[in-house]
Chain A
Amino acid sequence: MMNWTKQYPGWTMFGAMLGLLFFLWGLAIPLSAAPAPIGPAAEQFAEGARVTVWLTLIAGSVGVVLGIVAGMGKLSKFLPLRWICDFYVWLIRGTPLLLQIMFVWLALPTIMPEGIELSDFACAAIALSLNIGAYNTECVRAGILAVPHGQVEAAKALGLTPFQTFMDVILPQSLRVALPALANNLASLVKDSSLAYAISVVELTMAGYRVQAESYQPIPVFLTIAAIYLILTTAFTTLTAALEARLDVGQKR
């Protein structure tokens, strides 16, 4: 990654976040200046990009929490918990994401209690969270295993509780190891979120598909979408690279 993300990680993170926001709010303005078929549909593109980013941010965050919880669970001494987490990862990694999205959309409403309506967007967010969570689980597990045992012993000997030992020592050190892989998963998520189109969530790809269907000009439309995806993935990658640099302190090279 670029050198300045390493030199000024705090600023880069802030900048990438700000850039992402500006991009989202302002996307419609430059696009509307473009010739047909892009210009007239600028607002649709912008709305689609917003949905894509929301899906990514929500599923990305929930996925990290799921990954940490299930990653710990896989290393638990409590056997049933380990089985549950193993089963979760096995199930999600062994089936297509598209199927998982459809399943959540079709099956979840039937088992939800009366009165709770799940929007299509919520279903997509749930399915994507579960999906990236399973992939994160493996990364977090590997990260936890990479923490030297001496670190845990030192924490114990100082009188830290198991919870404090986990939060203050094991988690930060294992995330430092797991972060490149987690960042990778997040970059995939930006693109994988496009599968939400299958349950009629109008995210970026779906927005483009509609514009294209109305204008019969697929090439400029898809080029525009590709460009927006590239900008989004670059923003997310910059963000995570800066985070990595921040956590990298004290690491042997």
Chain B
Amino acid sequence: MDNQSPPSQPIIIARNVDKRFGSFYALRGVSASFSEGQVTAIVGPSGSGKSTFLRTLNRLEAHDGGEIIIDGIVLSDDLQHLDAIRREVGMVFQSFNLFSHLTILRNVALAPIRVRKMSRADAEAKALALLDRVGLKNQAHKYPVQLSGGQQQRVAIARALAMDPKVLLFDEPTSALDPEMVNEVLTVMRELAHTGITMLVVTHEMGFAREVADRVIFFDEGVILEDTTPQAFFTNPDHERAQAFLSQVRHGF
């Protein structure tokens, strides 16, 4: 019997999750749970399965083994479950993926109109408020190509927030940006981290992980090698692979 009281119930539970591509295991028996409001930085070398793990959580990739439960809903092929989960879980991509044929305002308002069945006027008012929050209200009528990378990524964050998700997944949100634009996006994310939304952030920004995250998970070859506090991870990681990774990061790639 599960006797945990609702508030301490994790919002995401992954148990023994496997993911194969052909015969190659991208994830091998990954288990982790995340409580509401927690900000987790996911780090690790290239190809270690960080993106794959994130993408199994909103079923952009279907897992092959184990179990994923989000806000009490089991993630499976059941379309109703999938709909419910995708409403709860937003995602921000490395390459922004804004809808190129829609204005910034329509980009943000689209999902509330279609998925939440909001009226167009309400959805656009909400979109404007969110754009204001990421500092882009005055760009609402432009198209994505007319914005800089940093601005596009802030719109992408507003677009994800428009669905009022409980969980936000970020897959290297600053990796495609010119260095001078990284900070404007990190600033928005830093503010978000204090709002109580659950965040899972795959990132190479170790500064951000150290300052903002409550928890760091280190992936290597499809398994979680370290799952600890930023303090412990950055000062004294348990595994040699993590130490090697950190020294590599410190000395630049």
Contact = CB atoms under 8 A, between A and B. Distances in A.
Interface stretch (A63-71, A127-135, A164-172): A164-172
Contacts of B144: 250
Interface centre among A154, A156, A161 (most CB of B within 10 A): A154
Contacts of A156: 58, 60, 86
Interface string B89-126: 11101010111111100000011001100000000000
Given A169-B99, A173-B100, A250-B101, A158 B145 contact: no
Interface in B101-157: 101-103, 110-111, 114-115, 143-146, 156
Closest CB pairs A-B (n = 8): A250-B143, A159-B86, A154-B97, A158-B111, A150-B97, A157-B91, A159-B115, A164-B114
Contact of B83 (A154, A159, A172, A250): A159
Contacts of B87: 159
B163 interface: yes
A158 B60 contact: no
Contacts of B86: 156-159
A252 interface: yes
Contacts of B163: 158-159
A148 B98 CA distance: 11
A250 B110 contact: no
B50 interface: no
Interface of A is mostly: helix
Nearest to B111: A158
Contacts of A95: none
A157 B60 contact: yes
Nearest to A158: B111
A225 to B, nearest CB: 40
A160 B97 CA distance: 15
A158 B110 contact: yes
A160 B99 CA distance: 13
B166 interface: no
Contacts of B99: 151, 154-155, 168-169, 173
Interface string A142-158: 00000010110111111
A251 interface: yes
B19 interface: no
A44 to B, nearest CB: 45
Interface string B191-205: 000000000000000
11 contacts: A154-B91, A154-B97, A156-B58, A156-B86, A158-B86, A158-B160, A158-B163, A159-B163, A169-B101, A250-B100, A250-B144
A249 interface: yes
A168 B110 contact: yes
Interface string B36-55: 00000000000000000000
Contacts of A157: 58, 60, 86, 89-91, 160
B114 A168 contact: yes
A148 B136 CA distance: 25
A169 B144 CA distance: 14
A176 interface: yes
Given A158-B86, A158-B159, A153 B111 contact: no
A199 to B, nearest CB: 41
Given A160-B110, A250-B102, 20 more contacts: A151-B97, A154-B93, A154-B97, A154-B98, A156-B60, A156-B86, A157-B58, A157-B160, A158-B110, A158-B111, A158-B163, A159-B115, A160-B114, A168-B114, A169-B99, A172-B101, A173-B99, A173-B100, A249-B143, A250-B146
Contacts of B103: 250
Contacts of A249: 101, 143
A133 B110 CA distance: 31
A247 B100 CA distance: 11
Contacts of B143: 249-250
A149 to B, nearest CB: 9
Given A153-B60, A250-B144, A251-B145, A160 B111 contact: yes
Contacts of B146: 250
A173 B144 CA distance: 14
A173 B143 CA distance: 14
Contacts of A150: 93, 95, 97
